[in-house]
Amino acid sequence: MTIHADVVTRTAATVLVDQLRIQGTTHVFCVPGESYLPVLDALRDSGIKIIVCRNEGGASMMAEAYGKQTGRPGICFVTRGPGATNASGGIHIAQQDSTPMILFVGQVERENRGRDAFQEMDYRAFFGGLAKWVAEVNEPDRMAEMVAHAFSTALAGRQGPVVLSLPHDMLSLPSQSADAPFIEAVETAPGLVQMAALEDLLAESARPMVILGGGRWSEAALGEIAQFAENFGMPVCTSFRRAHHFHPSHSNYAGDLGLAANPKLVARVKASDLVIAAGARLSELTSQGYTLFDIPNPQMKLVHAYPGAEELGRVYRPHLAIHASPKAFARALAGLKTRRASADVTPAHQEYLDWSEKPMPQPGDVNLSEIMIWLREQLPDDAIICNGAGNYSGWIHRFYRFRRFNTQMGTVCGFMGYGMPAAVAMKALYPERTVVAVNGDGDFLMNGQELATAAQYKLPIIAVVLDNSTLGTIRMHQEREYPGRVSGTDLVNPDFAAMARSFGGFGASVEKTADFAPAFEAAEASGLASVIHVKFDAEGITPTATLSGIRAKALRT
């Protein structure tokens, strides 16, 4: 990367874009606004690809997905009030999922600040509770400094979102800013004393478990974790939506601790005498609604290794807190010599296989577990599956198998509408890989407009829309708490396959399980952004429960 030599002739906008190039940014996701025209102009010849989205919600989620996938901050540009408020979804996801991203927002001219000018917003107030840092670049000469600070803040410790606002008039002024160099996340290594304490705990433990989660991993670091687990005979489970951190066929794999987790896995973790939580925050869904560990003192010895010191002891008092980045912790674990006889991990892995191997019966003509098993058998190991939120995702978690690092793109915070923008971003990054967005019917239309973005950039993602004509998750809760009183959860849906065709894509409808495979193959063969509209019976509301069964049970109690 060459650093711009002639610092004097650049505008603040040019310095900003040069800084993005120096930081290795390959794509930016945006909806344009008149408030940041100088940046759009500087991007034009920068070599950085611009993906113009149809809604800032989609753009911010694409940037978040880019950050989650690459480990480098995802970049999103939006305009003032309307753009910033629409973009807040991606910022919430980046905060909850600990993903590095930077949202750049246009701002009114400095001379009009505080007048409640057209679309003026106080970004510090609005994003203050979400982002790690919110600031405004008021001095063109400080542009590189502030963009570099945005990168280092997004990448530091527990990673997350940063918001920088850009007053319109400032962007076209000359800037004397000197470029800042490429910024890497600081790796925090565990201390020798802590590793010695961990060795003692391992030597004493009879029923240890590893919980793997969070970001900041690499394939190599996860390989070191697998080696450690083998050396010490430790079952490994993964936290919510981080199943891709451990190979599902590995004999130490015990399954994922997410929504509707395998009850045998939950019982196994509860009964363990030592839990090593590596990189995982131990969030609400991973901790099974804060029931897995006693609060504040877990029933077992808890070793919590995490890159952000503020997360250690947030809810659970760890027996041993280790402030370390996942990569540095994995390296230290790989160096440990085992002092205990390796336990038999076969039962834990067998419980995972028993839970996920075979399809479950389902009312109606479409069986989602059979579809997921078909996908797991047909898709290449490096295929990326993106999804939003809804009960349908339970079939992915249980029956699909993520065999490569970062092939699972979902949100830890359960944000509907994530699948489509995430898939667009993934296909833009990896045109040669299969990218599938699995959506619920409610979920899909939250960001279904980004199908137009996929079509515009010729990104042949395959969107599967699982249509049960209801916001099924909420209907499920409704039947539990207000049996038989359906209210505000029914949907009347369009023909999603026809919608895909009207967007210039491929569309197919599926009403029987057997029709799914040919529809998927035809979608792949089309080379177009595709939608497979799968209509299934809402009665089969989870892999193990029916709506009428939930209602009957609720009426009995």
Ligand X SMILES: Cc1ncc(C[n+]2csc(CCOP(=O)(O)OP(=O)(O)O)c2C)c(N)n1
Contact by Cβ (8 Å): 4, 10: yes
Angle at the Cα of 94 (from 93 to 97), degrees rounded to 5? 75
Q: Which is nearer to ligand X, 316 or 415 (CB)?
A: 415
Shortest Å, Cβ 541 to ligand X = 8
Tell me, residue by residue from 53 to 92, as one string, x for binding to ligand X by CB under 6 A and - for no binding: ----------------------------------------
179 contributes a contact to ligand X by CB under 6 A: no
What three-state secondary structure class fits 191?
coil
474 contributes a contact to ligand X by CB under 6 A: yes
Task: Report which residue type is found at 402.
Answer: F
165 contributes a contact to ligand X by CB under 6 A: no
The rounded radius of gyration (Å) of the Cα atoms in the chain is: 24
471 contributes a contact to ligand X by CB under 6 A: yes
**Interface positions, 336-395, toward ligand X (CB under 6 A):** 389-392
Size of site (CB under 6 A) for ligand X: 19
Name which position in 318, 414, 419, 483 contacts ligand X (CB under 6 A).
414
Q: What is the DSSP string of 138-154?
A: --GGGHHHHHHHHHHHH
468 contributes a contact to ligand X by CB under 6 A: yes
**Interface positions, 433-462, toward ligand X (CB under 6 A):** 440-443, 446
Shortest Å, Cβ 473 to ligand X = 4
Contact by Cβ (8 Å): 273, 303: no
Place of tokens 């527990």: 158
Segment contacting ligand X (CB under 6 A): 99-107, 146-154, 221-229, 408-416? 408-416
Alpha-carbon separation of residue 218 from 67, 223, 380 (angstroms): 14, 9, 20
Contact by Cβ (8 Å): 67, 74: yes
Shortest Å, Cβ 445 to ligand X = 9
Tell me, residue by residue from 123 to 152, as one string, x for binding to ligand X by CB under 6 A and - for no binding: ------------------------------
Segment contacting ligand X (CB under 6 A): 116-124, 215-223, 471-479, 514-522? 471-479
Contact by Cβ (8 Å): 532, 464: yes
Strand 101-107 relative to strand 74-78, pairing: parallel
C-alpha dihedral, 265 to 366 to 479 to 555, nearest 10°: -90
Shortest Å, Cβ 57 to ligand X = 9
235 contributes a contact to ligand X by CB under 6 A: no
Q: Which is nearer to ligand X, 240 or 352 (CB)?
A: 240
User: In this structure, what token pair is assigned to residue 491?
Assistant: 């949907």
CA 130 to chain centre: 16
Of 76, 39, 56, 41, which is closest to residue 167 (Cα–Cα)? Answer: 39
Q: Point out the residue whose Cβ comes nearest to ligand X.
A: 440
Q: How far apart are CA 490 and CA 446, in angstroms?
A: 16
Q: Which is nearer to ligand X, 96 or 288 (CB)?
A: 96
Q: What residues line the site for ligand X (CB under 6 A)?
A: 389-392, 414-417, 440-443, 446, 468, 470-474
